[in-house]
Amino acid sequence: MEFQSIKTSELNKKQIDQILNLKNIHWKHGYESQLTWFKKNALLDDSHNLMLINNEIVGYTFLANRSLKMFHLNKINKKVSYTLFATLILSEKYRNFFYVSKFMKFNSKIIYKKNNPSFLLCHEHNLKLYKFFGWSSLDISNFKVPDHSKNLKGMIYNFDNFKKDKNTIYNFYYYS
C-alpha cells in the first residue's frame, strides 16, 4: 500500500482516468460528466490524495485550496484560505476500517502540512466516521456555503485558531 499527494498540474492521464473511474463507482454520472466536473473544479494547485495498491488507485480524496469569509456580528471579520475536503472514495474491496483508517491518517497529515483549517460537507450517516478521525460538527446556524446547493452537514478539522461562537458565521466557498 502506498500513499501519494499530487497537485492537479502533476497528474498524468492514466491517474486522471483511474480517479474518474473510481469516482463513477459511487457517483454514477458517467465518465464524461466526471471529466467535465474535474476540468471545471480542480485548480492547478489543488491536491489529489491517492491510495495505491499494486500501482492501482483504490482510494481518492480531493483537497482543494479555497477561501472562507468570517462574519462576526454581521460584519466581515476576515477572509482566509481553507482546505476543502471532498470526495473520499475507496474501491468496494477496500471499504473497511483498516484501509479507511490508514487513508484518513494520511489525509490528516496532508491537511496539517497545509497549515489551514479544513471543511467538508457530508450526509448525516457519515458524521460518526469523520468524528472518529477528529472532525467536529458545525452548527447549521454557524456556516453557509453560498455556491453549493446541497443540504448537507458541515464539519471542520484543524480549526483551533478560529473563534467559535454563536455570533460568528463562516461562509465557505466550495468552487472558488
Q: Provide the CATH number for the domain around residue 7.
A: 3.40.630.30
Whether the per-residue pLDDT at 81 is higher than 70: the answer is: yes
Q: If pLDDT is split at 50, 70 and 90, which confidence band does 28 have?
A: confident
Whether the per-residue pLDDT at 49 is higher than 90: the answer is: yes
CB within 8 Å of 153: residues ≥ 6 apart:
121, 122, 123, 124, 126, 127, 137, 138, 140
Angle, CA 110 vertex, CA 116 and CA 38 arms, to 5°: 90
Q: What is the pLDDT of residue 144?
A: 87
Number of domains in the chain: 1
Domain coverage including residue 73: 2-172
Q: Name the residue with higher pLDDT: 170 or 149.
A: 170
- Residue 42 contacts residue 77 (beta carbons within 8 Å): no
Q: What is the pLDDT of residue 166?
A: 72
65 closest CA partner among 133, 1, 9: 9
Mean pLDDT value across residues 121-142? 93
Q: What CA–CA distance (Å, rounded) separates 20 from 25?
A: 9
Whether the per-residue pLDDT at 60 is higher than 70: the answer is: yes
Whether the per-residue pLDDT at 161 is higher than 70: the answer is: no
DSSP-derived secondary structure letter, 154: E
Kind plus residue range of the DSSP H or E element containing 138:
strand 136-138
- Measured in whole angstroms, how far is the alpha carbon of residue 16 from the centre of its chain? 17
The structure's pTM equals 0.90
